[in-house]
Structure 1
Amino acid sequence: MVTRAASIARSDDKQRTVDVVWTTGARVARYSWARDEEFDEELVVEPSALRLERLNSGAPFLDTHRSYGLDSILGVVVEGSVRIEGGKGYATIRLSDREEVEPIWRDMQAGIIRNVSVGYKVHKYERTAKADRKDGGKRALYRAIEWEPMEISAVAIGADAGAQLREEANTGVGPVIIEKGRKMPDGTKTPSAGDEKQIRALFTRNGFESEAQAAIERGMSVEDAREHLQELQATRDAEFGPVSEPDLSGMQRGGASMAEAMQAALVHRHSQNTTLPQEAQRFAEMTVPELAVEWCRSMGINYRGGNAGAIDAAMQTRGAVGYHSTSDFPSILSGAMGLLVLDQYQVARSAVMQASRERTFDDFREVTGARISGSVEFDKVLESGEYKYGQVKDGGEKIKLATYGKILAVTRQALINDSAGAFERLPQIIGTGAAETEGNLLAGMFAENSGAGPVLSDDNPVFHESRDNIGTAAAIDTASLSEGFVKLRRQRGLGGEVLAITPTFLIVAPEKETEALQAVADLYAASSEDVNVFARRLQVLVEPRFEDPLRWYLAAAPGRPESLVHGYLRGQRGPQITTRVGFEVDGMEIKGSMDFATGFMDWRGWIMNPGATAD
């Protein structure tokens, strides 16, 4: 199915109907990328040339040719309203009463939405070669003498921007699918050896190697063979579905629903953490080249050269059309890549993140974390007495966003081959790389100053004797955990107030994992003395990036108080994916970037134990 722009003529408020002129069949100049040919196209608008049964039986009125969901149906062509008069096609459209259609109906009444486009299929044509034209035409003429309108759509931008209300004469450039007969050469003669070689190369290059010998045996010249090849390409295009040149109406035909379904299928194919929507099931087993073929068919894009041609055509859709769209084929791959990156990123994130409070930053300026504290104990107020002022102290550490990133590329060859290393490995690399960056920055802070952590604004590291947040070096057992609990619960605010901190996490290196799990295990106790008092009270977090195998930590829940923090630029949480279709180098470049910051805003809420080997 292909499309052609038209216009809205008038509306009926009571019946919620609009009259449209959906075709004038105007002759337009065209160019076929597949056949490398300029030609004129003309739709014959006569009752004998049109199959109107489908359109006149209540065909749908769609939103920009989208046909992948019921929500895209805006209304219906009123049965029996389609007619052909004076070389034009007329129809009456009745809009749905659904609430979401109401704004579209109002815009049509107000003349804001003025363009419609017809989707149609050509079944038969009449071709006149350039040399045989008597009207002074400079190109071959293709006249669609049997064609079928399939649906009518409201569109934002028609293929012809001049197709406005009551200006139907110039209806736009809608490409057609052409089936045509073969033109036989005059007489039969054997082509020269040079011509034969050129004919074989021409047919082979365009995927019709088996047809080359037949053309030679029929005595075709190179020019006749080239014209016959164009006919074969047109027939092949018709068999494979809709084809067209990239234009604005073509960009609308695929629609967001199809793009989202393809994207969901790609993500589901490479991730076990997603469910496959019903509308995406038809794409579930398709490779990237097969999706490109399907995309080209839907968008009406001519291509040649099998899977390679489909990939090339689909990847260049945006550039050829001239508009950026979230539903072009590169964006489908980019969107799927982004979701797979986030999937890998979530899996690979540092466990220590669970003990860190996430913040949002508005820009890249340095931010000072406020620590406001003071005595909160109320004084007794006597009758007619006055309230006393309490003392408030403040302090804070500084933190600032930085940008991290890397550019990788997937080659055109990899996309065509659909190798697992192209579309599955790259998201894993980028997602894991982003998580590794975060984890290394976090673990690096704990390694600073020989394991004492970064220096804070009071010129002491996070873990320091003056803070009483370092435990006696010991293995993880009841005694050492008890000491840590006491130290955390005894921590006080700036004004000396009790913070009542509850330990939540036990954080260890891999070497201490078994020891930590045993220390908090909920085991059956034979007597009250054997009960594990720490069972179910601590969550064990294992960080493989910790350099010291013995050191372990107790930490409060994030923000209670605010101690370890991490954050991202507003609206840019986690890794962000940007893609660019290559020009100098064939393929697609993928840039993974992240605006990230982490740091200690306070030392309170953490206890460090230097650790020891368990007996």
Structure 2
Amino acid sequence: MNRKQKLIQRQQELLNTAKAAARELNAEEQAEFENIQRELDAIVAGEGQTLGEEGERSVPGVDPGKEKAATEAERQRCAEITDLCREFDVSKDDEQKYIRGGVSTADVRKAILDGMKAHNAPISVRGSAEVIGDEQDKFRRAAGDALLMRAGIYMEKPAEGARDLMHMSLRDLAIDCLTREGETGASRRSSDELFNMVCRQFFNPTAAFPAILDNAINKAYVEGHNKAAVTFDQWTRKGTLKDFKTNDNNYLAGPAGEFLEVPEGGELKHDVFEDKKRPTRKLKTYGRQFTLTRQAFINDDIELVTSLPARYAAAARKTINKQCYQILVNNPAVYDGTVLFSKNHGNLVTTGTGITQASMQAMIMALQTQTNEFGEAIIIRPAVLIVPSGMAFDTYTLFNSPTINTEGNTQAVNPLYRYANQIQVIEDPTINVLCGGFGNVMPWWLAGNKDDTDFMEVDYLNGKEIPTIRRMETPGTLGFVWDIYLDWGISVMDYRGAIKNPGTKIDSPLV
């Protein structure tokens, strides 16, 4: 490439850069362009070219009109190739290769499409509605995460741009959303006027401000649900029901009869099964409602869209937790009309004690010698020790000491040492509260593995255990209103799955 060709190429690059940015040449570019033109004029003059009739320089023996047409065609080709490459995100190197190689516009277009087909890449045009929609979604996700981080909720991977929006108040966010949607003068509105404007967008599916609040609330209440301090799910089984009807068609098939010896020439004896009805199961709906009021918006109270939903979601889990422990402590009548823990069920220790070697061994033996509805022995592995707060300390020495002291002050093997890795200790202060607090007698329980026994089951509608949250409009309410609700039901499925010790009094540590 000679000097003249390099200068012409540089001029074209200047023009392409300005065209890609949809602008005219700036002062610096214009000055460079004119300097190149002067140098080109000097080169042309030195080559002995003369001016044609229209003042353009021409080469002797060449038709000036044809030369001008060829130059314009080349410039048009370069411009079209540049537009194609920008439109389909073609690399700068490939763009220059097409221009310098004299490739036609049609061939460039074909090469781009062939490349996309070969890589199974979707055709994405810059400036399309899809790109604009994606940018709106990115902004909404970033703004929702920004509200959560501003409220102190930890985000491991916040949306791109969220940290840049953390300084924005609810008013600032409303102004930004309205401005993006074409509202003029939003920044000059009062907070009260802005609130009325965003409230009018309540049912608009494309409105940004309500969607941002929904995004923040959804993430907040899922976070609250996952971090709720509960223990019920460690010893109850999770179930699912498809509707709110009473499900009473759950039957047990009787056990397979023992194999009988068949003498030579004898006949096999037919076995007859016996069925027993299982307890009924039924769902109920529980929920609450909260509002982002007009005053909260004006006061920039973001807690109502961040930590408050998280607390409600945690409250749902804690409600289930409390209901499960109420069954253990209150000992209600179950499906057969008898109280859950009783002598008739063979799952109640007569005299309450603390956690000692003797009481623990008695609990294990009582659990392992249970029989099913058909009088057959059940193999229940002791897996969970459920105790009130303050009673777990005794279990650590009981299970983790290889030896114990006997009455003669000699060392002997600890028979409970083998259970250290088999029995999980669950300590929950909900038991303390239900029993009236320290200074009162508090029971404790030994249960089998929840996957092996059907002691207690928590059912959810279609298996959904995270609360549903929805934004709604309530007449006469100044603000955005959200309903949060969850469907569940708790059923004692088989009283044989746990043994109760009436316990002993636990003194207050503060006395």
Question: Fold match, TM over 0.5?
Answer: yes
Hey, what's the Cα distance between the residues in 2 that align with 1:387 and 1:331?
69
Q: Rg bigger for which structure?
A: 2
Over aligned residue pairs, what C-alpha RMSD do you find?
4.1
Hey, what's the Cα distance between the residues in 2 that align with 1:573 and 1:331?
24
1:464 maps to which residue?
A: 342
Hey, what's the Cα distance between the residues in 1 that align with 2:445 and 2:162?
48
The answer to whether the 8 A contact 1:364-1:401 is kept is yes
Q: Matched residue of 1:398: which SS?
A: coil
Hey, what's the Cα distance between the residues in 2 that align with 1:334 and 1:496?
55
2:366 maps to which residue?
A: 487
Q: Matched residue of 1:367: which SS?
A: coil
* Offset at residue 579 of structure 1 (A): 1.7
* Offset at residue 420 of structure 1 (A): 5.2
2:388 maps to which residue?
A: 509
> Which blocks of at least 5 consecutive residues in structure 1 are unaligned?
1-51, 62-72, 81-91, 106-115, 117-150, 156-248
Per the alignment, do residues 288 and 497 of structure 1 end up closer, same or farther by CA in structure 2, a change over 3 Å counting? farther
Q: Matched residue of 1:465: which SS?
A: coil
2:187 counterpart (296, 304, 312): 304
Q: Matched residue of 1:578: which SS?
A: strand
More helix by share: 2
Quick check: 1:565 aligned with 2:457?
A: yes
The answer to whether the 8 A contact 1:330-1:581 is kept is no
Hey, what's the Cα distance between the residues in 1 that align with 2:196 and 2:140?
16
Per the alignment, do residues 284 and 483 of structure 1 end up closer, same or farther by CA in structure 2, a change over 3 Å counting? farther
The answer to whether the 8 A contact 2:85-2:91 is kept is no
2:17 maps to which residue?
A: none
Q: Matched residue of 1:441: which SS?
A: helix
Kindly provide the CA deviation profile for residues 38-85 of structure 1, in whole angstroms up to 9, marking residues without a partner as x. Answer: xxxxxxxxxxxxxx9999374457xxxxxxxxxxx9999x989xxxxx
Per the alignment, do residues 590 and 98 of structure 1 end up closer, same or farther by CA in structure 2, a change over 3 Å counting? farther
TM-score calculated relative to the size of structure 1: 0.55
2:236 maps to which residue?
A: 356
Hey, what's the Cα distance between the residues in 2 that align with 1:480 and 1:360?
36
Hey, what's the Cα distance between the residues in 1 that align with 2:259 and 2:90?
66
AA partner of residue 420 (structure 2): A
Hey, what's the Cα distance between the residues in 1 that align with 2:453 and 2:183?
59
Moved more, 366-375 or 551-560: 366-375
Q: What is the correspondence of 1:219-368 to structure 2 with a 5 Å cutoff?
A: 252=133, 254-270=135-151, 274-277=155-158, 279-283=160-164, 285-289=166-170, 290-296=172-178, 298-302=180-184, 303-305=186-188, 308=191, 312=195, 315-316=198-199, 318-319=201-202, 323-324=204-205, 328-368=208-248
Hey, what's the Cα distance between the residues in 2 that align with 1:277 and 1:312?
27
1:110 maps to which residue?
A: none
* Offset at residue 349 of structure 1 (A): 4.9
Quick check: 1:537 aligned with 2:392?
A: no
* Offset at residue 561 of structure 1 (A): 1.4
Per the alignment, do residues 424 and 261 of structure 1 end up closer, same or farther by CA in structure 2, a change over 3 Å counting? closer
* Offset at residue 270 of structure 1 (A): 4.4
* Offset at residue 362 of structure 1 (A): 0.5
Quick check: 1:605 aligned with 2:489?
A: no
Q: Which has the higher relative contact order, 1 or 2, with Cα contacts under 8 A spaced 6 or more apart?
A: 2
More strand by share: 1
TM-score calculated relative to the size of structure 2: 0.65
Hey, what's the Cα distance between the residues in 2 that align with 1:99 and 1:497?
65
The answer to whether the 8 A contact 2:241-2:463 is kept is no
Q: What is the correspondence of 1:121-132 to structure 2 with a 5 Å cutoff?
A: none
Per the alignment, do residues 614 and 153 of structure 1 end up closer, same or farther by CA in structure 2, a change over 3 Å counting? closer
Per the alignment, do residues 497 and 100 of structure 1 end up closer, same or farther by CA in structure 2, a change over 3 Å counting? farther
1:579 maps to which residue?
A: 471
The answer to whether the 8 A contact 2:247-2:282 is kept is yes
AA partner of residue 386 (structure 2): I
Kindly, what percent of the aligned residue pairs are identical?
A: 23
1:214 maps to which residue?
A: none
Kindly provide the CA deviation profile for residues 578-598 of structure 1, in whole angstroms up to 9, marking residues without a partner as x. Answer: 123677433221211111111
* Offset at residue 403 of structure 1 (A): 0.8
* Offset at residue 508 of structure 1 (A): 1.7
1:395 counterpart (254, 277, 298): 277
The answer to whether the 8 A contact 1:317-1:328 is kept is no
Q: What is the correspondence of 1:160-239 to structure 2 with a 5 Å cutoff?
A: none
2:482 maps to which residue?
A: 590
Q: What is the correspondence of 1:385-464 to structure 2 with a 5 Å cutoff?
A: 385-386=267-268, 388-419=270-301, 421-447=303-329, 451=330, 453-464=331-342
* Offset at residue 355 of structure 1 (A): 0.7
> Which blocks of at least 5 consecutive residues in structure 2 are unaligned?
1-78, 97-108, 406-410, 436-440
* Offset at residue 292 of structure 1 (A): 3.9
